């Protein structure tokens, strides 16, 4: 059993959730030479579930290589990726304010999916190590929104860097009339699935 993990994510929400669950974590972030954004490019015709799981696996492979390259103490590495899907259409992080407004306009008055894939890898001194993965799918229904509401929200800056151009733990919660699934998964790290993969990797949990 291990008493800490590496979190290979720049999301402050994921780190906060792990700490709330009593899991000690150390950040394992990309080097300046790594093109982390390139890992999130969508392949032509790729389905949302396949996409989010593929990207998470790529992040994990890159993180385990980073751990080995830096010669850090061995411990499980946790990676995750979240995407918002409207049908088969993948809504990633908005490129700018206009993109964020367009995404939110499309989500307004509709039900959409939030998919978060989580994966844990355990490196060993010799050999390939082991990996565990899980997928969380949740549904969110937004009430109809006016252009003025969307503009105010985008102007707040909160949508930037968020899949689907919103954060459920922020002001966008005021628009979500119905949520089915994992609230923490919509935030970016599903509690149940994360606990399952961490326990499989030998991490001390409640």
Number of folded domains in the chain? 1
Catalytic residues: 81
What's the CATH number where 153 sits? 3.90.950.10
pLDDT tier, 2 (very low <50, low <70, confident <90, very high otherwise): low
Inform me whether the pLDDT recorded for 88 exceeds 90. yes
User: CA-CA distance, 66 to 171, in Å (whole number)?
Assistant: 36
Q: Residue 191: inside a domain, yes or no?
A: yes
Distance between start and end Cα atoms, the chain: 13
Q: Does a structural domain hold residue 157?
A: yes
Token pair, residue 31, equals 């080097």
Length of the chain as a residue count: 206
206 inside domain? no
Question: pTM for this structure?
Answer: 0.93
Look at residue 136 and tell me if it is in a domain.
yes
Q: Residue 182: which domain range?
A: 5-200
Instruction: Give residue 104's pLDDT.
Output: 98
Q: Is 183 exposed, middle or buried (0-12, 13-18, 19+ CB in 10 A)?
A: middle
């Amino acid at each position: 059993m291990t008493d800490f993990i590496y979190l290979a994510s720049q999301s402050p929400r994921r780190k906060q959730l792990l700490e709330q669950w009593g899991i000690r974590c150390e950040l394992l972030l990309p080097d300046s030479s790594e093109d982390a954004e390139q890992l999130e490019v969508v392949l032509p015709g790729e389905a949302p579930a396949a996409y989010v799981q593929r990207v998470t696996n790529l992040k994990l492979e890159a993180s385990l290589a980073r751990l080995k390259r830096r010669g850090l103490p061995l411990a499980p590495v946790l990676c995750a990726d979240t995407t918002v899907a409207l049908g088969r259409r993948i809504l990633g992080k908005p490129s700018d304010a206009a993109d964020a407004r367009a995404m939110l306009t499309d989500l307004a008055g509709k039900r959409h999916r939030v998919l978060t894939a989580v994966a844990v890898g355990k490196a060993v001194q010799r050999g390939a190590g082991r990996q565990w993965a899980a997928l969380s799918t949740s549904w969110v229904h937004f009430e109809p929104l006016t252009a003025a509401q969307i503009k105010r929200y985008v102007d707040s800056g909160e949508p930037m860097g968020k899949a689907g151009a919103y954060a459920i733990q922020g002001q966008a919660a005021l628009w979500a009339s119905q949520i089915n699934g994992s609230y923490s998964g919509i935030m970016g790290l599903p509690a149940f699935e994360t606990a399952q993969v961490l326990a499989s990797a030998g991490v001390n949990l409640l």
